[in-house]
Amino acid sequence: MDPLSITASILAILKLTESLTKFIIDTNRATNDQQKLAAEANSLTGLLIQLHCRVKEARSNDPWFNHAKFLVANNGPLEQFQHILEKIVQQTTSFSNRERLQAALTWKWTKSEVNDALNRIERLKTLINIALTNDAFALSQAIHGEIANLTTRTSEIQLGVEELKVYASRDLQNKLSSWLRVPDPSTNYQAALKKRHAQTGSWLLATALQDIIQEASLQADAVVAYFYFDFNDVQKQHTQTAIRCLVFQFALQMPECLAALEQLYQQCNNGSQAPSEGAIRAILYDALALPRRKYIIIDALDECTDHENLLQFLQDLEVSQREVCVLATSRRERDIEEELQHIATETVDIQSAVVDDDIRVYIDDRLVTDAKLKKWPSSVKDEIIRELMRKANGMFRWAYCQLEALRKCIKLSALRKTLLSLPKDLDETYARIIQNIDSNDQLEDAIKILQWLCFSERPLTTSELVEVLAIKSGEDCGFDPDEKLPDPMDIMAICSSLILCPMFATKKSPRAAFVTYCTWAKAIQMAIAGFFSLTTCWLSMPRFIGIST
């Protein structure tokens, strides 16, 4: 190839660029993409003229020319760009002046085609600039760099193979999850986040839990597994379920553990048989023996139904001397406290004085943002804060219930009367709520809802509770559709602060979660003597017990 061939290609591109530019100028309503392409192509004009002059001066045996000629090789950078310009110009030059507006308006290039053309222009600019520096080596490297673009397709094929591997891995994970029947512990975490009030809990986030998460995130070999015991969910109340959940989470992070679990799955007739407790524990202990930094977080030990097995499991972890750090939380229960004091290396007791700071933040915010509370003058708000803080004693739930009662006060005299007669604890709070249920019909409905929430095997949704209220007992037993509530959220109005309905399921059917947790049969007996005994849970701040070996 001689210099004349290169100059001919350059002149062809210059002519096409001129035609495109003229079309854009003559067409006042050209699209942004058309204008951008014309401007970028026109910016090449100066470089192409310089390259044209440099080629005319070069000799055929010039080392620089031997590399520059690859610019116009078959399907080379200049030829590719020339084809793009020809495709664009072909759509414009055949039209009359009247038709040019139509041509501009019927532009059919996709966004990806436009971007591809712009990228080619940029690459061509780079190549020409390098060519004009007379750096033969750099030009050679740049032109050969174009060849690297061909390897992109190979990389894309490889990515496709990797995606197939990911799908296969997900399929295996789903099979193992169904086989082990592990619940999703993240729902508890998300629900806790929903309940957390902004700017509160900083005292907790600054303690061991934050340190564990931060340390794990900074270590490439760190793995974390967690489980929340939950009295609201029968699937999250047993030690064996917790162990299976921990094993499954470790398997997702440790290939050796995943391989062992998959082998056990195959030994159990590909999941048709349930694994033995001993086999699952063996996989867990083998995983804990691997040279990795391992963290286990277990929340609400007191909400586990088989304390003895759970405490034995924690003791086994301590005795095994495996390198694993365990953080466990629990309310004060004698058997748990007695056992853990022998194996815990650190104990953190959450004092009510620390929690009270967060309760104060919560109350302040409610008095500013709640439509029924912010109406009171500052002096009255100060009274509310003073009385609630004096009796809260670290109980968020108690403070919440009292604010709900104060919201119902229309007159200042009624509000001050309520403040002067605040219940001393949650037992008395719930007793008053039941006594204040408006009518006998609502009391029956409230009792029925509480019964079903207490004895259901899993949390119930508001939609399900609506169906429950339509079930009649006694002589006229049966299902009465007329008794169904038109609005499921009216259940909250019936039960007031006795239940909590976190909106983390679906908007149409949020879960109605029963959130109180101590035996308060006396409260029920005050409303309806001897009706039934109910187990509930205080939403006061729990005691955190940290264990590490």
Closest CA to 183 of 117, 242, 102: 242
pLDDT of residue 75: 67
Average pLDDT over residues 170-174: 79
pLDDT of residue 433: 79
Mean pLDDT of the chain, nearest integer: 73
Alpha-carbon distance of 364 to 374, in angstroms, equals 10
443 burial type by CB count under 10 A (0-12 exposed, 13-18 middle, 19+ buried)? middle
Greater confidence (16 vs 312) lies with 312
Average pLDDT over residues 433-459: 77
Q: Calculate the alpha carbon distances from 146 to 66, 84, 112, 120, 153 in Å.
A: 17, 17, 19, 10, 13
pLDDT of residue 154: 42
Average pLDDT over residues 401-427: 91
pLDDT of residue 325: 84
pLDDT band at residue 509 under the 50/70/90 scheme: very low
Average pLDDT over residues 175-204: 66
- Beta pairing partners, 460: 512
| 3-state secondary structure string across 76-95 | CHHHHHHHHHHHHHHCCCCC
Q: With the C-alpha atoms ordered 100, 101, 103, 108, is the resulting torsion angle positive or negative?
A: positive
pLDDT band at residue 215 under the 50/70/90 scheme: low
Q: Give me the helices (H) in 135-276, please.
A: 136-148, 150-180, 186-195, 202-205, 208-218, 239-253, 255-267
| Residue found under tokens 């000799």 | 59
Closest CA to 257 of 178, 183, 172: 172
Average pLDDT over residues 438-466: 78
pLDDT of residue 250: 92
pLDDT at 54 over 90: no
Closest CA to 423 of 394, 408, 401: 401
Greater confidence (496 vs 519) lies with 496
Alpha-carbon distance of 69 to 142, in angstroms, equals 13
pLDDT at 541 over 60: no
Q: Which of 117-126, 159-168, 243-252, 498-507 tops mean pLDDT?
A: 243-252
Helices (H) and strands (E) in the chain, counts: 26, 9
Entry pTM = 0.49
User: How does DSSP classify residue 299?
Assistant: E
Average pLDDT over residues 486-504: 74
pLDDT at 529 over 60: no
pLDDT at 240 over 70: yes
Greater confidence (7 vs 183) lies with 183
pLDDT band at residue 279 under the 50/70/90 scheme: very high
Angle between helices 396-407 and 426-435 (to 10 degrees): 30
Q: With the C-alpha atoms ordered 262, 266, 272, 273, is the resulting torsion angle positive or negative?
A: negative
* Contact status, residue 474 vs residue 465, Cβ threshold 8 Å: no
pLDDT band at residue 147 under the 50/70/90 scheme: very low
pLDDT at 513 over 60: no
